[in-house]
Amino acid sequence: MKRIDQKRIDETLALIKSSEKEGAGNERIKTIVNRLLEDLFNAMADLDITSEEMWKACDWLTQTGKNNEYGLVFAGLGIEKFMDVQMDWEDEQAGIENKTPRTIEGPLYVAGSPESTSYATLETEPEPNGERLFMSGVVRDEKGNPIPNAKVEIWHCNLKGLYSHFDSSQPEFNLRRAINVVEDGKYEFKSFVPVGYACPPNGSTDTLMQLLGRHGARPAHIHFFVTAPGYRKLTTQINIEGDPLTFDDFAFATRPELVPHIERISAEDAAKYGKDEAFAKIN
């Protein structure tokens, strides 16, 4: 079939544009929506998209909203990853170096987690089946000096791959904490080694991933926000070394520099650290 002539696409776009009242509405939104429509109409013409396909898309979008899965879809389609690619490019242009790499936030952060100074236990309710995990580090500026008034927010999922707040079976703010550092910039936390995450089976995102010949799973990871007055915010994650999906993340968030070595410490050696059981250590 021959493609519709460009003139009719352009006339349709002009018709839609002509319905905007002068001086009304929001210019930025107009620019974005009109541009997206232009790209969409051209794609519909190029790909001979049928009205049946259009209505399927409409139903899928409706369902995605009902399921609260747009954040997952944005992650799975690499839209969030592309924002990082753009920000990295901007940093490169500005000559910003020597930084902890950023990676995506994802849709599962919750503000307002319990705060403490220098150290936190992430578990509201101790997880008896988890492998103990200790992680420590120092928040530093670009010259390597500790930042004394930084805040480190941490969040991760439980052993079922579920995040508190989005999983009603967990206590409020379970596995979500905020650590305020002092002069030494140091933070340390105790938790357990999390597992990977999988999109709700046969939900909107999972269905889309299957149709794309993909999967909707993430390797085990821990999220971080690092903020300090006068500094820009760092959004990042670490991956748990050894996860088979480390470099097969549906959200494209893994970066080699964000896979720290995890030291496994025996119950015997744990005593050296003042602990009474075996644990995994990251620093």
- Chain residues in the site for ligand MBD (CB under 6 A): 72, 75, 104, 106-108, 197, 218, 251, 253
Rounded to a whole number of angstroms, the minimum distance from the CB of residue 42 to ligand MBD is 30
> Which of 109, 231 has the CB closer to ligand MBD?
109
The residue among 160, 171, 177, 195 whose CA lies nearest residue 122 is 177
Residue whose CB is less far from ligand MBD, 218 or 281: 218
From 102, 132, 197, 255, the catalytic residue: 197
**Spatial separation of the C-alpha atoms in residues 119 and 135, rounded to whole Å:** 10
Residue whose CB is nearest to ligand MBD in the complex, by number: 106
Question: Can you tell me whether residue 169 is helix, strand or coil?
Answer: coil
Do 229 and 106 touch, CB atoms closer than 8 A?
Answer: no
**Which one, 157 or 262, has the nearer CB to ligand MBD?**
157
Q: Decide: is 194 part of the binding site for Fe ion (CB under 5 A).
A: no
Binding mask 105-124 for Fe ion (x = CB under 5 A): -x------------------
**Which stretches of 19-147 are DSSP H helices?**
27-46, 51-66, 70-76, 79-93
CB of 91 to ligand MBD, least distance (A): 21
Catalytic residue list contains 70: no
Strand extents, DSSP E, 118-233: 119-121, 132-138, 151-155, 176-180, 186-192, 197-198, 217-218, 221-227
State the nearest-atom distance from the C-beta of 131 to ligand MBD, in Å.
Answer: 19
8 A C-beta contact, residue 248 and residue 220: no
Instruction: Let me know if 218 is a catalytic residue.
Output: yes
Nearest approach in angstroms of CB 273 to ligand MBD is 29
